[in-house]
Structure 1
Amino acid sequence: MKYGKTYSDIARFKKSFISDNKKLVEENNRISDIYRKQPHREECKVCSSGNYSSGEYFCLNKIKYYVCPDCGHINGEFLETEDFTNSVYVDGDFGNFYKEDQVELYKERMHAIYTPKAKFMTSTLENICGEDWRGFAYLDVGAGSGYYVAALLELGLEARGIEISPQQVSFGNAMHKKLLSTAGGGKCFCLGEDEVVARIRKAKEAVISFFGVWEHVINLHVILDAINENDNVRYVFFSVPVFCFSIFLAAVNEDVFCRSLGGSHTHIFTEKSLKYIYDKYKWEIVDQWNFGADIPDLYRILKVKLEQQNNNFLSRIIDEKIFPLIDKMQLCIDEAGMCSEVHVIIKKLNK
């Protein structure tokens, strides 16, 4: 188990969360308004229990989130539909906040955010699993603009990405070609939603990754089943948002953008619901990296509120006195298992 990650390395990429807070909140609210108009959820996202709403719940942005008494997963009260998905991935513009127009900025983002993931994975495969990771092929599902694929390619690995957004694929492949001189262009491919599962089922790659994907797919079971049915896939590396300290911050600061829950995030994982998945599919955790952005979220909330008040003195003191403490404070959250996300590498056991 690994804990913590230096926030200062990526802070420059998160400044728009403060400067664009109003726009991000409006977009989250737009999506939440659409979500509230969907049919009520009938069963748990993870365990399919129709009993999911009989337990405890909390409210966020006028939406109830139920803690499933059977598997512990936290489900939003409404169902994700095709119309809702289109509102997020077709009509929404979250991708604009992550795109970079220059090769050097793309490279900096890749090295700060995605190269550490790749090195964590290769270290785990070599030192814990005893694998020759250099001989593996890798598939990144929901690859976005191809940052993780680029990090793997830079390590000299055989890697491909699949993504449903043609704009993201086009941009990522252009960056791959300029940054890595990849033969024939980039290594990301655009697939329709109905093609993604088929690609996973026939994948020849030994390692499949999903970063910030499982919380968005309509039918999570279909994806998980496809992974398990493919004997070529030996390891899965994924990250998901989990119930965390940031949820409490969001509940009392609804005028500040919430990353973890709300908008396109209609449900959230827990340690218990992840264990349910591992047990059901006979997966074994080989390594996990707990690091989150809960204290950066607290810092961001304070900055937004103080700037709204034109309270420049306190805003400056936050930068001088609190920002340098973020890593130490966040590490306490990470070690307590209350961080906003987890990165997990699992090994598929013999059926």
Structure 2
Amino acid sequence: MIGCLPPEGYPHSGQGGLTYSAVYDKQGDAATAKRRSLVYQPKLEWVLSQADLLGMTRQSLLDARWVELGCGDGQFLKCLEEAGASRFTGFDADPALVGRAEAALTAGSAVHSRIPLSDVVRATQADIFAAFFVLEHIPDVHDFFTAFSDKPQGTVLAFSVPVFSLATALESAFDVHAPRNLDSVLHTQLFTEASIRRCMEIGGLEPVSQWIFGQDAADLRRMLMQALARVYPEQMLQEVDERLALMEEGLQNVVDRACFCDARHIVAVRRKRGRNAHRRNSPSQAPHGREARGAA
């Protein structure tokens, strides 16, 4: 099979398919508010709930300087604003999404930037950096975490990444699917427990908490239904789908507890100097739980 690289500037160039901004442009205010409530508000509340582990209070976290890397249309920033934070800035490479973020915010700001995120980290002074489902899109993760190795101790990084999981195996086994994890165009990285530990070492970061959950069961249901639609009559297909729907949450709980789910949310803090410091303490694990997963 002969492959080719996507065009320069993809996906922001608008070539080769829909851009993120084109998708969000089709959402009305109600859908946007729902996405913010289901996807981004739980992320903020989870980060704020780690205050004790960070030696801070909820209010001191809200009073801190925040930078969101890959802020999109500003939904996480809006959650910060609604929680009472005012010192925050978001950076994104899509000018249309930045414009939407700026229009939605009354405090803070969103900035259009096409420079590597590692350079944004180096050039920006912040107490807390956030990057939710962003790092899988950047070409040089090593340089990104190296940028944190010179940050002051106490600097916090809250991030989420896709990991090798049941969903990844399903994508390898089924030929009819949208490649959400094994995506070699929009995703440049797929993380593992070992590679996350290595990233922490490079940045001199110590993970203090992680939130483990995924949507692998939903992927299994979707892929089975797509495959079965080619061979099952409609009535039988509907019956199988109804039974899978009843199983979905329980199955996902099993996958989450086995730590074979498709995502990790991590809060880490700069506590060590040097790029090869070994992590001494195990991170606290938040209760395994379900959050609405969507475009981050």
> Do Structure 1 and Structure 2 share a fold, with TM-score over 0.5?
yes
User: Per-residue displacement from partner, 1:9-34 (whole Å, max 9, x unpaired)?
Assistant: xxxxxxxxxxxxxxxxxxxx9xx932
Residue 283 of structure 1 corresponds to: 205
User: Per-residue displacement from partner, 1:66-115 (whole Å, max 9, x unpaired)?
Assistant: xxxxxxxxxxxxxxxxx666334422424144554322211100000110
Residue 249 of structure 2 corresponds to: 327
2:115 equivalent to 1:145? no
Tell me the distance in 2 between the aligned counterparts of 1:299 and 1:137: 42
Residue 165 of structure 1 corresponds to: 94
**Local SS of the residue matching 2:10:** helix
Q: Which amino acid counterpart does residue 193 of structure 2 have in structure 1?
A: E
- Which of 55, 77, 84 in structure 2 is aligned with 1:130? 55
Residue 23 of structure 1 corresponds to: none
TM-score normalised by L of structure 2? 0.81
Tell me the distance in 2 between the aligned counterparts of 1:232 and 1:205: 12
For structure 2, list consecutive stretches of 5 or more residues without a partner in the other structure. 274-296
Tell me the distance in 1 between the aligned counterparts of 2:246 and 2:271: 43
For structure 1, list consecutive stretches of 5 or more residues without a partner in the other structure. 1-28, 36-82
**Local SS of the residue matching 1:262:** coil
CA contact (8 A) 1:160 1:188 kept: yes
Q: CA 1:334–1:85 in structure 2 vs 1: closer, same or farther (change >3 Å)?
A: farther
Deviant stretches of 4+, over 6 Å: none
2:169 equivalent to 1:240? no
Tell me the distance in 2 between the aligned counterparts of 1:129 and 1:121: 10
Within a 5 Å distance, the mapping from 1:157-236 to structure 2 comes to 157-158=85-86, 159-174=88-103, 176-177=104-105, 182=106, 187-194=109-116, 196-231=117-152, 234-236=155-157
Q: Which amino acid counterpart does residue 156 of structure 1 have in structure 2?
A: G
Q: Which amino acid counterpart does residue 170 of structure 1 have in structure 2?
A: G
2:223 equivalent to 1:295? no
Query: What's the CA shift for 1:258?
Result: 1.9
CA contact (8 A) 2:89 2:110 kept: yes
Residue 86 of structure 1 corresponds to: 9
Tell me the distance in 2 between the aligned counterparts of 1:208 and 1:122: 13
TM-score normalised by L of structure 1? 0.69
Q: Which amino acid counterpart does residue 277 of structure 1 have in structure 2?
A: C
Query: What's the CA shift for 1:309?
Result: 4.8
Tell me the distance in 1 between the aligned counterparts of 2:114 and 2:209: 32
Tell me the distance in 2 between the aligned counterparts of 1:329 and 1:99: 34
CA contact (8 A) 1:203 1:230 kept: no
Query: What's the CA shift for 1:153?
Result: 1.4
Q: Which amino acid counterpart does residue 43 of structure 2 have in structure 1?
A: K
Q: Which amino acid counterpart does residue 129 of structure 1 have in structure 2?
A: L
User: Per-residue displacement from partner, 1:293-329 (whole Å, max 9, x unpaired)?
Assistant: 1111011112323445573223322443221332211
Q: Which amino acid counterpart does residue 128 of structure 1 have in structure 2?
A: L
